[in-house]
Structures are given as structure tokens and as C-alpha cells.
Structure 1
Amino acid sequence: MALPILPLGVIAYENIPYTVIPDSPYGHRELLVNIYRKNDGKKYPALLMVHGGAWSSGDRSMQIPMAQQIAAHGYVTIPVEYRLSPEAPYPAALHDLKTAVRWARAHAEEYGIDTTRISISGCSAGGHLASLVGMTNGSARHEGTGQYREHSSDVQAVVDMDGVLTFVNQENIDETNENIRKLNGELPKNAIWLQGRYEDHKKIWEEASPLLWVTEKSAPICFINSLNPRYHTGRNEMIEKLNAYHIYSEIHQIEELLHPFWLFHPWFNDVVLYTINFLDKTLPEK
């Protein structure tokens, strides 16, 4: 596994609250971010980083090794905590991340963030959420009612590592229903997060599908995928939609079936390089 190693010249601000959930199942609690950046006082573009775990598990520490390395290349990297399905179903996680983007803009002077160059990346479920954040730039129905509403939640670039792009393709619907049958009526993780079966909650499944929300305001996106075909579903269709708006996209293929490739060497270094090159291209210094 790739381990956390703070590069020379990079400083860390950890366990920083970005919002408060007053009435969570765990009581009054804060959602936290970590921040990594060069120790030079300059302003840099920001990258919010979203962990995976089937919308039900994981934490922001999974993003720390990558965040530390990317920060050394001139980015303010921000691993983000968000609410998981045991605490709150969709759309809580999306609203948390939109709030985190607005928080980054509200605290730009404090942490040296260029507010015109804010991006988001994610892995697996985090990749899905990052794509949803980026495709729904400007969408009021996805915004939520979180803090810092005087600031924009728009992002200027997305990196999606094996994150699904649609829930409403027939293959996914059929697979979910088959899993419900195998579980004797219990819901699998995706259906728990989406508040039930597609047949009962079509609007939620559609609203949570990034593929359905591509507009002229959507962000450029980099896909980094394993060979597992389930994580390619909707990718070509999304690229076609983005092309219609002349929005840039690129694909990088990891030649392994291993889904969480970003956590392990040697693929970790490739992912860092792909991410930095894409962000350098789409968020150029002005």
C-alpha cells in the first residue's frame, strides 16, 4: 500500500471543521477536512479529494498519501469527510461536498487557494460523487442548504477513478434487483444509499446519476479506470455529451482488474502523475 509521507516543503493542516451537522444520528458533530500545500505563501489551485467505500464506509485518511504527493506539485489538496449511508442517505453526501467546495472558497485567503481554479477527485463511490459535483455545476436542485451560500460550489475540473456514472442503466437496475433477491429482500449498499429500489425511487436514482446532468456548465473530466467493465458504464455516453458542449475529457486505463488500484504501488504513482498532468492542463496558471 502507498503510505502517508509528507514531502519536504509541504505543510499540513489536519482535522479542520468545515461544517456542523446539528442533528445527526451521532448527535451534534463536525465534518472535517485535511489540507496539504507547499509552505511558501503562494496561492495555488485546490483539489478536494473524496474517498470511496460504497457510500457506506471509509474515511478521508484513505486520500492522505495521494494528497500529500499532489500538494508537492503546487496544489492545495483537501481530503474531505462526508456523511455515509449509515448516517444519512443520498443526497446528504453530495450536499456535504458542495458545502466543502464553498468552504474552500470562503477560506481561500487563509489557506492560499486560487478560487478560480478549484477541482475535485474521487475514488470508487468518491469518484461517482466527484463526477456528480462536477456535472451539476449550476444545478439548484443539487445544491442543498449548507453553509457559505454566498460562494459558488462550481468546480473547474474532475478526476474520477473507477466511479460509476449512472445508476439507471438496465444492467445496474437488474443487478441490484438480483442482489435484493439473493439477500432475501434486504437492500444492497447502492440501494440503501439511494433510499430503495429503482422502481420505487426513480427520481432519486436519476438525480444521483452524473451522466444525466451534463450541461454547458459541467467541468472537464479525467477518467482513470481499471479493466473492470462495470466502472466503464456510461463513460462513452458522457464523453459524447461533453463533446457536444466542447468540454474536454480524457481516459487513462490501468491494465489490471484490481478496483482500488489507487491505494497500491505501482499504480499509485501513475494515478498521481495522471492527475497532476490533467489538472495542469485544465487549470493553467493565469
Structure 2
Amino acid sequence: MKRRGSFVAKTIRDGLLEKTMKNLYGTKSNPGMEKTETEDAKPQFPYNVEEILNQTYLNRQEDPLAADIFKPEVEKDKEMPVIVTIHGGGLVEGDRKITRDFNRALAGHGYLVFSVEYRLAPRANCAQQLDDVCAGMDLIGRELVSYNVDFSRIYLIAESAGAYLATYVTAMKYSEKLQKAIGYEPSKMIFKAVGLISGMFYTRKKDLIGYLLSAMFFGKMEESTEFIKYMNPENPEIIDNLPPAYLITSRGDFLNNYTLMFHDALKRQGKKTHLLYYGDKNLGHSFVSIYPYHEKSEDAIQKMLAWFEEQAVGEKVTPEEETAPESEKPEETAAAEPEKPEEAAAAEPDKVGETAAEPEKPEEESEAEKKPKRNRKKKTEAGNNKSQS
């Protein structure tokens, strides 16, 4: 009976793991959206894009890590803003190829885009994955001198598990405590703002992510109390060291509660942040990056890029929160605490897979907002001091 019980438990666990991974990888979370992803449905972008793919920057454990580059065809004297992207996949699946269309779309708006990747768990724990990402970023930093770029407009965009890595990579830059706990040097790159799409921010909650995957993420580092205490992304050492953050989620995103909770945590700490929430249940996990040519994805991309540029030039500040869909939303500044019955939406469901309660907001968003025109070594000394952007 004991053997039978173990077999049943393993079967249930494997089934839950398969379902969770399908959701994280986007294969079941966006019903019907693939119908819009035809060549005819692709929007016309302002710029044509040149692609430089498979640029190997590191070999680790016989796993070559490579970057893709997407360069818009702009005038020779035009300085290009830069975006670095990090793919998702639950830290255990995926590579940079899954977001190539997304990167093409970003480059089509005039951004020089670099896409990096990392070794997957359980072959590498999350600290090693962070180091892989930092190594890729430092390669990009060296490559930038070959292009005519605007160094005051460098941004980071990541989806799902990539958003988790992006959160820690950017916080490491200014946190010596975090660098010491993780055990690796931070990247030298400085980002003006970060975009986090359907972020898998919480990896140690008592839900399916924590139950099924945390041991794969952390490996033996789970035994280190100094390391594990920082694996709550709401730790002040992380929140206080993040750049301005633009968060995107939707009603159909099975991890939307993670984004709502993390956005609330950023607000509580007085961080500059913006939440874009889509009320359509057919817009699933990471829909913006998986189906970038969908009209709602293009809408989200344009709004995120416009907000990025506001952070760079200090133009008008947009509302802290908005829902996709409509003009009845109040005009608020990013510093204002909106009076909405939305706080309950941030409450954590009992388990992953249950979506958070949908904020009571209008159905469709206003169209009034227009788009403005290594081998690396382990850390041995403290990193840079914090500088407020």
C-alpha cells in the first residue's frame, strides 16, 4: 500500500507539474490568440529590423549561452535607445528564441534590442542563473560601443520567470548584502526603468510554484538562511534598490495575483511603479511577449515604451494604475494612492492557478494615451554604492 500511495502521489505531482509548466510556458494560457498571429495580422512598425542571431557569449557546463540582437534601420546619426530582454519558462524551460517576435516588435519601434538567456534548473540554481544573465548583460555593455546609442535610455524587459531574474539582477546592482548572499558580482549595466510582464515574483509561497519547483530553483542554496531570506521579493533590500517598474498582467494570467501583490509592495515602499491590467480573461500569462502582434499586446507595448521615455526625460507622469479599457478612469499622478476597491484583488489565492479577483474597473482602456514620438567570477569585493535614478 505504501508503494501504491507513493506512486499515486508522484502521478498527481507530475500531472500538476505538467499543467503548471504549460501555463508558465504559455502553451495553454492564451486560448484563441494564436489565430491572430498570422503574417497578415502583423502591425506595420515604423522601422525595418536587422537581426544578428546566436551570438555566443559564454560556455558553462558545456551549455553555450548566446544572445540575439535586433537593430532597427534608423538614420546613421540617430542615437538608439536600448532594451535588454530576458525570457521566461519557469526557470526550467525555454530559451531566448521564444521571445524573438516580441524582440522584433520592440526593435520595430526604434529600439536596439538584445536578448540574453541562462542555464535552466536543475542544472543551475537561481544564483547561477542570475550570474548567467549578468554575464550576458556585461557582453551587451561591451557591444554598445559599436552602435550609436543613447546611454541615458537603457531599459530592461522580462516576462514570467525572466521578470523574477530581472528583479534580482537590477537590485543586486546597488545592494552589497544581496551580492554577498547570492555570491556573484552584479552586472555593470544601469537601467533607467524595467518592464515586468506576468512576473513569477514569488518562488517560496505555499502554492504550486513553491511546492513543485522551489527545490529545483534553489538546490543546496535552500539550506542557506542568509540566501533564502532574500528570496522574498518584498524584502526591503530588493524593493529599495529597484529602478522605476512598469508591471503588466491580465485577468487570464494565472499568476496575476503575483503582479498585483508585488505592485502593492512597491507602492508601500514609495517606489515609482505603474500597473497595466487587462480585464479580458482570454489574455493569458505573458500574452504580450508570446503573442506580440495581437492588438492588445501592441497596445501594451506602446504604453510601456511611452512610460519608459517619460522616466528618461522627466515628462508628464501617468496614473499609477490603469485597466485596459477606459476613459472613465480618474486622472492621478504616479505618486497618488488611488482610491479604488482593488486592494482585495491583491490578496493571495490559496493556490496558483486561481486568478486574483478582478479589479472593479471599466472594461476597455482609453486610446487617448498616444505613443511618444565573463567567464564571470564569484564576488570577492563589494559592488557599487546605490545611486538614485
Range into which the TM-score falls when normalised by the shorter chain: 0.7 to 0.9
Q: How does 1:1-286 map to 2 (within 5 A)?
A: 1=34, 2=37, 8-18=47-57, 20-22=58-60, 24=61, 27=62, 29-40=63-74, 41=76, 42-140=78-176, 141-142=178-179, 145=184, 152-167=188-203, 172=205, 174-175=206-207, 179=211, 188-195=212-219, 200-212=223-235, 213-214=237-238, 217-227=241-251, 228-241=256-269, 243=270, 247-257=271-281, 258-262=284-288, 263-264=290-291, 265-284=294-313
Q: Distance in 2 between matches of 1:178 and 1:209?
A: 12
Q: TM-score, normalised by structure 1?
A: 0.78
DSSP-derived class of the 1:74 partner:
coil
Q: Is the 8 A contact 1:134 1:157 kept in 2?
A: no
How many pairs are equivalent? Answer: 261
Change (3 A) 1:156 1:209: farther
Q: Is the 8 A contact 2:203 2:209 kept in 1?
A: no
Q: Is the 8 A contact 2:201 2:258 kept in 1?
A: no
Q: Is the 8 A contact 2:69 2:115 kept in 1?
A: yes
Q: TM-score, normalised by structure 2?
A: 0.59
Q: Is the 8 A contact 2:157 2:195 kept in 1?
A: yes
Q: Which protein shows a greater Rg?
A: 2
Aligned-residue identity in percent: 20
Query: In structure 1, what residue type is equivalent to 2:287?
Result: F
Q: Give 1:55 deviation, angstroms.
A: 0.5
Aligned to 1:182: none
Q: Which runs of 5+ in 2 are unaligned?
A: 1-33, 315-389
1:98-135 Cα offsets, whole Å, 9 max, x none, are: 22222222111213333333221111111111222223
Task: Let me know the Cα RMSD of the aligned residues.
Answer: 3.0
Q: Is the 8 A contact 2:88 2:162 kept in 1?
A: yes
Query: In structure 2, what residue type is equivalent to 1:10?
Result: V
DSSP-derived class of the 1:234 partner:
helix
Q: Give 1:225 deviation, angstroms.
A: 1.2
Change (3 A) 1:113 1:102: farther
Q: Distance in 1 between matches of 2:214 and 2:174?
A: 26
Structure number with higher strand proportion: 1
Change (3 A) 1:216 1:86: closer
Query: In structure 1, what residue type is equivalent to 2:309?
Result: D
Query: In structure 2, what residue type is equivalent to 1:259?
Result: H
Q: Give 1:52 deviation, angstroms.
A: 0.9
